[in-house]
Homo-oligomer: A and B are copies of this chain.
Amino acid sequence: MSANCKIVEENLAHGVAIITPPNGLSEKLSLAARAKRQLIIKLGFDPTAPDLHLGHAVVLRKMRQFQDAGHKLVIIIGDFTARIGDPTGRNKARPPLSEEEVKENAKTYLAQLSKVVDTNNLEIRFNAEWLGSMTFQDVLRLLSKMTLAQILQRDDFSNRYNNSIPISMHELLYPLMQGQDSIVINSDIEMGGTDQLFNCLVGRTLQEAEGRSGQTVLSMPLLIGLDGVEKMSKSKNNIIGLTEAPDQMYGKAMSIPDALLPNYLDLVTDFSLQKINEMRAALADETLHPMEAKKAIAHNIVKQYHSPELADSAALFFYNQFQKKGVEDKSYIPVKSEDVFQANASTTLVALCSKLQPGMSKNQIRRLITSHAVSVNGKKIEDPQASVSAPVDAALKVQIGKRGYFFIS
């Protein structure tokens, strides 16, 4: 292996949580060099959730590195299952999507993808193309390649089975569908979060059952969201979206919990490996203040998803809004008024707070309010039913408990 190849491999392996099998990346890169061909790098996407955030970008930024190293990205749009929805019809949260909705979501997705990868230089495949034309006989052939014991190795299946929580028979087939995608596009590498490891390995098993070399699986770490606890996820309201406005993005990045800074340096910024290591060391020996690290990360994020100029102006906006006013020790989360006030109407304090802190129960919030732990524009309010008006000219500052600072405008 040339020295150059070695550096490429080190960069590609950096930040990956698990490579399966351990020598798989190395083998695939050697194979590509020997055969003088591109590797096929697969990523699946669920078209029911087209809003991308920094959590998705962890995987996408790694995809970009492969693209820069000359390999071929294939994005699989999982339209087959999205168009079926929940076959039992019981789960109202999973209605079947129409062909138009899938296409619309895919377009939105591509637009967001373009913020990280070169969308002019990748292949998009819709898996209904092959799954939709499979007959019952084809399904039986596919299923015959794996055993029940192999499928029940998936943690959520085995946990549910062992705890007598029903598993509908059709659910057992989803990993096999994802695996069939790998057979059809002949992927060399499949990317995913660590929570996708099992499903990706099914693709490897199925490819090997066909007598081919099985794909290597690169599992990226899951990014913890702004709440500092849960995986970044829209439903947890703890995300920074890839298409958020520069000021919003910067402000949210300023609320990253201190403990997560090394993590965000690794997974979110595009700083050089050397710079990341220096900053992590400086944070560890406290020669770098967390607030300064946060500013650097926030600036870097806006630079990546917008531009250096917009990053500069977002930093200035933040300084003017908050730091000048002496709130530099707190990190306010900017919130859009229309996200928490319906049609600019007023609302009760408890309703407002539970929109701002969806992780808390209404009872928890009521207790915080009655124990003087909630203030609006610096003034403590003890009545959960107190009416709060939507901000008109001036922004509304709401503090909930010790750590929840919101800036609504």
Contacts and interface: CB of A to CB of B under 8 A. Distances in A.
Contacts of A132: 135-137
A326 interface: no
A168 B143 contact: yes
A308 interface: no
B170 A140 contact: yes
Interface centre among A135, A144, A169 (most CB of B within 10 A): A169
A167 B147 CA distance: 5
Contact of A167 (B86, B133, B149, B168): B149
Nearest to A161: B148
A176 B139 CA distance: 14
Interface in A179-214: none
Nearest to A141: B87
A167 B140 CA distance: 13
Contacts of A378: none
B169 A176 contact: yes
Contact of A134 (B135, B161, B164, B169): B135
A70 to B, nearest CB: 35
A138 B141 CA distance: 16
Contacts of A176: 169
Interface in A78-133: 80, 84, 86-88, 131-133
Given A84-B140, A87-B140, A173-B140, A147 B135 contact: no
A18 interface: no
A281 interface: no
Given A167-B147, A168-B143, A172-B169, A136 B138 contact: yes
Contact of A169 (B135, B143, B164, B170): B143
Range, interface on chain A = 20 to 34
Given A132-B135, A137-B132, A139-B139, A87 B167 contact: no
A143 B172 CA distance: 9
A144 B168 contact: yes
Given A132-B137, A136-B138, A147 B170 contact: no
B173 A147 contact: no
B170 A143 contact: yes
Given A87-B140, A140-B84, A140-B87, A148 B134 contact: no
A372 to B, nearest CB: 50
Contact of A172 (B86, B134, B141, B148): B148
A360 to B, nearest CB: 34
Contact of A139 (B133, B136, B166, B167): B136
A335 interface: no
A148 B169 contact: yes
A141 B147 CA distance: 21
A169 B147 contact: yes
A14 to B, nearest CB: 37
B173 A149 contact: no
Nearest to A164: B149
A284 interface: no
A245 interface: no
Give the top 4 A-B pairs by smallest Cβ distance, nearest first.
A143-B170, A87-B144, A143-B169, A144-B170
25 contacts: A80-B136, A80-B137, A87-B137, A88-B144, A132-B135, A133-B135, A134-B136, A135-B135, A135-B136, A136-B136, A136-B138, A139-B170, A140-B170, A141-B170, A143-B168, A143-B169, A143-B170, A143-B172, A145-B169, A146-B169, A148-B166, A148-B169, A149-B166, A149-B167, A169-B176
Given A132-B135, A149-B164, 6 more contacts: A133-B135, A143-B168, A144-B168, A147-B166, A148-B161, A151-B169
